[in-house]
Amino acid sequence: MIYLRRIVQLLFLALFLFLMLYPEPAKNVIPANLFFISNPLLVITTIIASRTLQLAFLASGLIIIASIFLGRVFCGWACPLGTTMDLFHRLKKPRKPDIQPILPPLRRVKYFVLLTIIIAAIFGANIAGWLDPITIAFKSFALSLYPAVDYILKGLFNKVGLKSFISPLNDIGILDTHSILFHNSIIFFLILTVILLLTFYQTRFWCRNLCPLGALLTLLSKWRILNLSTGRHLCTKCQRCQSSCKTGVFNSDFSLNDEECIQCFSCVKECSKTGISIGFSKDKSVRISILPSRRGLLVASGLAVLSAPLLKRSFGLRLGQSLPRLRPPGVSRSEGEFLSKCQRCGECMKACPTNGLQPLLAESGLYAMFSPVLVPRIGNCRYYCNACGQVCPSHAIPDMDLADKQEWKIGRAYFDTTRCIPYVNKEHCLTCEEFCPVPEKAIEHYVKDGLEYPYVVKERCIGCGLCEKVCPVQGLAAIRVSPPKDAEL
Amino acid sequence: MKDINRRQFLQSLSILGIGAVASGYLPIHGQDKPEDKKPDEKKPDSKLVLAVVEGKKPAEITIEALAILGGISKFVRKDSVVVLKPNIAWEKPMELAATTNPEVVLAIARECFKAGAKKVKVVERACNNPKKCFQICGFENAFNKSGVEFVHLTDDHKEYKEVKIPDGKELKSILIAKDVLECDTFINIPIAKHHGLAKLTLGIKNLMGITGGKRNELHHLLGQKMADILSVIKPHLTIIDAYRVLVRNGPTGGNPKDVAFVGKVIASTDIVAADSYACTLKPFSLEGKNISCVKAAYDSGLGEMDLSKIDIIEKKI
Ligand code: SF4
Ligand code: SF4
């Protein structure tokens, strides 16, 4: 069973990476955002926070049903972050039996995390994406590790003159010719590193103590039918179950916290007498629940209630509105509405072929953290692309037809004639006009004394940012896209 | 060593002037012994030939134009390496006439193979994502299984080599793609279209796609800079795709209303002559001297702009 589990885990991790790397999301039969649309935590918080229901979310039913009947199988068998932790933990050698502390108070933290997320969602703030394991895994893999690997491989292959080796990969969109980088994405790597290092203290530290998705699945699985049973008459008190269990289900007095069980079958394999089994009958072992007490919950809810307005008001939604950013095409003109739907998952940033979509940090307020923003100087919005809408799991970025996307005004370009080469240096340039991709160019020029001076025709500009990207002026471009004011639309 | 010789040779070629080119004399396989090519070898009676073929099928008119120039085997020897430089710089479907018609390029590539070329490469440094251009412009479909190699140049300096421009008025050196410097025959296949800064982009401007470095720095005094580049890397053959041309909103286009059907292909060994003729096409109605690149190249003695001095052979099929 344990081998089967490992294979399934690896398959899910492979699927996760495959979907992450698959270059043309729309052409794939498996939706690129599968792991997100089937993630109950994200689905529930997004529905609550944005007050919208979407058909794609039905996919989460699978995990919900599986958890109701089988417990936290998702954690043990499918979660890519969990698998990564398991793989990482194998590095710890020699694996002599060590019995890890159970620490019930720490374990309750995850319920409070979940509670805070849900209450924030009730107040319209969607913050699940900061702490959800799938989004953590995706961001660290796609936005941090992938660019690093890309950089190393490209450098290596180019040095060794093996360009021809990567070009077939190029053809399918991996290791593409342009380099990929994300603003401060090392943060995601650090988050992952901390989670992984904590496994040296307790295996699956994150899953036991912090994971809000784990907490949700535990709650769902209260009446599960797949149970752990210990054959007490066989027990030799060898304690191998205690040391092998990934989530600390076995207490030292052999009572069980089996609501935490992730059905990983390690104990079944390790038990010297194979007295432990996982099956559909429940034995009479003493079971201890570590759900938080009612009083704890009340106090925590009170605090969480406070946290939502705190986040939304003082930490930045206001600021976010006064400092609007260039959002991906098609998103709500209201920052608040957009942020209530955006799961901060990073799918759009990975999908954006120009690398223009970047994660915000605190520039637009803490509340907008990790939401996508278009940075034209890094990458423009490609005229022939609508990838971000295709992968966005919560339709915070709508899935628009290409033709509609091509008309969507992300913003509007303005010339900075104190920097623009013809205006300042009296030299020819017109690079922006040359590149402007709209059929009826949004940049035109007039000629004075034999020199071409460009200007923007505002009705035609879609704010794609290509002009800003290619402007030859160093540093701040001489043409820059600003978010549109409603009046200008 | 090969490219140094080649460079020297190209320099001497520009000194030899158009006469040598006009005589159909081409530097194929002669690069290693430039001293062989003496001015007195040119045939004084021959005139610079420009082929203009009109028709409904892009491939057909291309092949016909090559035939008028004496067939591709005059330019491509057995086991040689040929570089084709079409314009695949923009992500626009070919119907929008922002990029060279793939059928024209394919027809030329096939002719090169027929003439015994060992390798045919299509080289381009695109402005938009090169792979996407390759797909959207229709090259991926057309060149499937053609045996032609596509070189998508990037910003990587290693793909280029710095070439000194001894006679350069505005540029003293330029990065040029190694693939082009190292080939035996270099065929330039631009599309004729509108361009904001250059007015029209034709053969000479198309050479920008083989240069490295920061290309928008070439925009100031573009004409002379392109002429300087031309002085060190002269295509053996220029074939202008004027099947569909873009009249406004170039070089990117995008509006079908801006595309005019001309149905012509213009071919010549003299890039300036080909460009100069293309300016006069109906939808443009300009002259070579209106276009800074053409004018500067002519003034630098890199080719013939005066159409009356060219033997223009027009054909309709
Ligand atoms: S539509 Fe624009 S912003 Fe969205 S992924 Fe494509 S290029 Fe990036
Ligand atoms: S003016 Fe700039 S931002 Fe506007 S459409 Fe053209 S390239 Fe895009």
Q: What pTM value is reported for the model?
A: 0.83
DSSP A169: H
Decide: A466 and A380 in contact? Cβ < 8 Å.
yes
Nearest atom within ligand 2 for CA of residue A465: 3
- B280 near A CB under 8 A: no
Contacts of A405 (CB under 8 A, 6+ apart): A329, A330, A385, A386, A389
How would you class A69 by CB atoms within 10 Å of its CB: exposed for 0-12, middle for 13-18, buried for 19 or more? middle
Phi and psi for A357 in degrees, rounded to 5? -80, 125
Radius of gyration of chain B from Cα atoms? 18
Lowest pLDDT segment from B85-94, B186-195, B231-240, B304-313: B304-313
Here the tokens at position A399 are 């899935």
B 11-50 residues inside an 8 A Cβ radius of A: none
User: Rounded to the nearest 10 degrees, what angle do helices A80-89 and A186-198 cross at?
Assistant: 60
d(CA A445, CA A452): 6
Q: How far apart are the two ends of chain B, measured CA to CA in Å?
A: 45
**Tokens 């899935």 belong to which residue?**
A399
Q: Helix or strand or coil: residue B92?
A: coil
Residues of chain B contacting A431 with CB distance shorter than 8 Å: 216, 219
The strand pair at B237-246 and B185-189 is best described as parallel
Task: For residue B177, give the H/E element and its range.
Answer: strand B173-177
Ligand whose nearest atom lies closest to the CA of A358: 1
The ipTM, to two decimals, is 0.81
Cβ atoms B65, B266 nearer than 8 A: yes
Cβ distance A178 to B222 less than 8 Å, yes or no, reads no
Q: Three-class SS string for B218-264?
A: HCCCHHHHHHHHHHHCCCCEEEEEEEEEECCCCCCCCCHHHEEEEEE
Tens digit of pLDDT per residue, chain A (489 long)? Answer: 778 888 999 999 999 988 888 777 777 778 888 888 888 899 888 888 888 887 777 778 888 888 888 888 899 899 999 999 988 888 776 556 566 777 777 888 888 888 888 888 888 888 888 899 999 999 999 998 988 888 888 777 777 766 666 666 666 666 666 678 888 888 999 999 999 988 888 888 899 889 999 999 988 887 788 777 777 677 777 777 888 888 888 877 777 777 888 888 888 887 777 677 777 777 666 777 777 777 777 777 777 777 666 666 645 545 445 466 899 999 888 888 888 889 999 999 988 988 999 998 877 777 788 899 999 999 999 999 999 999 998 889 999 999 999 999 999 999 999 999 999 999 999 999 999 999 999 999 999 988 999 999 988 999 999 999 999 999 899 999 988 775 455
Helical residues (DSSP H) of A294-386, grouped into ranges: 294-309, 318-322, 335-341, 347-351
Q: How far is A428 from chain B (nearest CA, A)?
A: 4
- Dihedral of the alpha carbons of B170, B174, B180, B182, in degrees to the nearest 10: 120
Question: What is the spatial distance between Cα A225 and Cα A275, in angstroms, rounded to a whole number?
Answer: 19
Model confidence pLDDT, tens digit, residues A261-277: 888 888 888 777 767 77
What separation in angstroms does the CA of A260 have from each of A48, A67, A213, B227?
Answer: 26, 12, 12, 75
- In tens, the pLDDT along B145-155 reads 888 888 888 88
Which residues have a Cβ under 8 Å from the Cβ of B317 and sit 6 or more positions away?
Answer: B53, B54, B55, B60, B61, B64
Instruction: Say which amino acid occupies B315.
Output: K
Inter-chain residue contact A384 with B196, CB threshold 8 Å: no
Nearest to B229 by CA among B179, B279, B176: B176
B39 vs A403: CA distance, rounded Å = 58
Q: Out of B90, B219, B253, name the one closest to residue A439 (CB).
A: B253
